[in-house]
Amino acid sequence: MTESAPPAHARASHRFETPRLILRSTEVDDAEALTLVYGDPLNNPLGFVIDDKRSVAEHRASIEKQILSTARGENAWLVVILKPDQVGVSYKESDLQQLHVHDGFFIGCTGFNSFRIGPDSATLTSDIGAVIHHLFRKRAMALETLQAVIEYGFSVLGVTVFTLETNARNVPFRALMERLGVAVEQITEGGFGQEGDAVNYQFGMDEWKVAKQNLIASNKWYL
């Protein structure tokens, strides 16, 4: 039996750049840095990031699976790499060393958690998210990351609808979405079970065009 061809948005790997960042598919050699970022409770003060207890070996095995699911077009998880010439002077050498990977410094994760093709093949929906290492927060890294992910999704992958879900208690993430200019679509009571309500966002190209104009007008466009 022949395997069906991967969908049009599928790639063996993804890579794109912003002024300060490289956003690319996770590589097996990222496992150490990934374990540090996910395992540091300061990166996850609200307890909303999953997989925080995984070992390096478990992360490595999961990255190997990710490489296959990316190629099949099921998802496209990405790592956020700070370019070496964008680091500045305000970080301890030891912190930087731990996060060093071959193309820069591993400061977070983002990407397309899932892709769903509509029944008529005309809609491609993707759920996205972002985590930024605590040492690199409040420097518009998340804004730069999500702006690039959304632009890449619309223009390169052909995404037509973006969705995003966060816990209602995740004030920083909700503020980030507000700054991005994306309106709350709905709040689902008990969406996270005992952990609280879920806040859902959903937007297409028309809403994004308006958000982008507002970001440019308020000097919050980082691409």
Ligand X SMILES: CC(C)(COP(=O)(O)OP(=O)(O)OC[C@H]1O[C@@H](n2cnc3c(N)ncnc32)[C@H](O)[C@@H]1OP(=O)(O)O)[C@@H](O)C(=O)NCCC(=O)NCCS
Regarding 143 and contact with ligand X (CB under 6 A), the answer is: yes
Least spacing, CB of residue 192 vs ligand X, in Å: 10
Q: How far is CA 150 from CA 55, 80, 106, 204, 208, in A?
A: 31, 14, 20, 10, 9
Burial class of residue 100, CB neighbours in 10 A (0-12, 13-18, 19+): middle
**Helix or strand (DSSP H, E) at 79:** strand 76-82
Pick the closer one to ligand X by CB: 30 or 127.
127
In which residue are the tokens 């970022």 written? 37
Specify which residues 114 forms β-bridges with: 127
Residues 48, 91, 192, 221: which binds ligand X (CB under 6 A)?
48
Regarding 49 and contact with ligand X (CB under 6 A), the answer is: yes
Stretch touching ligand X by CB under 6 A, among 18-26, 73-81, 92-100, 164-172: 164-172
According to CB under 6 A, which residues from 175 to 204 bind ligand X? 175-176, 179
Regarding 221 and contact with ligand X (CB under 6 A), the answer is: no
Stretch touching ligand X by CB under 6 A, among 13-21, 82-90, 96-104, 128-136: 128-136
Stretch touching ligand X by CB under 6 A, among 8-16, 34-42, 67-75, 169-177: 169-177
Q: Are 123 and 157 in contact (CB under 8 A)?
A: no
H runs (alpha helix) in the chain:
31-39, 56-71, 93-98, 141-152, 171-180, 205-217
Helix%, strand%, coil% for the chain, nearest 5: 40, 25, 35
Stretch touching ligand X by CB under 6 A, among 32-40, 113-121, 141-149, 186-194: 141-149
Query: Residue 17 contacts by C-beta under 8 Å, 6 or more apart in sequence?
Result: 23, 83
Stretch touching ligand X by CB under 6 A, among 27-35, 57-65, 79-87, 131-139: 131-139
118: nearest Cα among 152, 149, 159:
159
Regarding 142 and contact with ligand X (CB under 6 A), the answer is: yes
Least spacing, CB of residue 129 vs ligand X, in Å: 5
Regarding 22 and contact with ligand X (CB under 6 A), the answer is: no
Regarding 138 and contact with ligand X (CB under 6 A), the answer is: yes
Query: Binding residues for ligand X, how many (CB under 6 A)?
Result: 21
Q: Are 76 and 148 in contact (CB under 8 A)?
A: no
The binding site for ligand X (CB under 6 A) comprises: 48-49, 129-132, 137-143, 166, 170-173, 175-176, 179
